Amino acid sequence: MAKIIITEQEPGSDPEAEAGVRHLDDVQLDRLMEAFAIWHDAAASSYIRRVRGRYRLAFLLLRYTGARLGEILRVDDASDIDYEGCEVRIAVRMPAAMRQALRSVPLPPDVVAAVLDYLDEFPAMQGRVFALDQGNFRREFYRRAGEARIPRPLSHPHILRHTRAIEMLRAGVPLTVVQDILGHVLSSSTTVYLQRPEVMIRRILKDRGLL
């Protein structure tokens, strides 16, 4: 798939963002992932590595699940992650009158391995790896986004939810599957990503060498 290279993106300059959904392009996403990895690996002590490791793992779950930040920070690494099946169970946000349910979201094996490596190094953290303060996580996210030269309007954790949705749709994942993964109760919440289908059609044709 061809990459869209936008080095200094101004608000409104992304044609797909005009569809109502702002998201990171491939290059920006790669830079953000690299920023978190460099920050984590530069830890000068075991204590700092223990702290930074939690933020990096929360970031990876956000990036690959498309979940909301609050959902990820409620994940219990001792009970909500299927380490053999490479899935994480996330609480579905339901109307007050309905019983809470869980949705299972697949995870890349290397992300599951990263959680296991962390717990192997810091076993005392079991059961509270992701129990981070939301405000602190947001501050660290803003810092890493700044290091990755992400434009300020895109420098917030929720941008990863939009980015994952667009990524899945571009890859041909059915809309109903995207809806299940994101935990949208109403399909109308997911179809916002397809408000401008001609943009998606143009991208597909261009990626296939037809434009």
Mean pLDDT value across residues 174-186: 78
Residue 93 has pLDDT above 50, yes or no: yes
| Cα–Cα dist 97/57, whole Å | 33
The CA-CA-CA angle for residues 64, 168, 183, to 5°, reads 65
Residue-wise pLDDT tens digits, 100-136:
678 899 999 999 999 999 999 999 999 999 999 999 9
| Cα–Cα dist 109/159, whole Å | 23
Write down the H helix ranges in the chain. 26-41, 46-65, 69-72, 109-121, 134-147, 159-170, 175-182, 187-190, 197-207
Architecture of domain 22-157: Orthogonal Bundle (1.10)
Residue-wise pLDDT tens digits, 45-83:
999 999 999 999 999 999 999 999 999 999 999 999 999
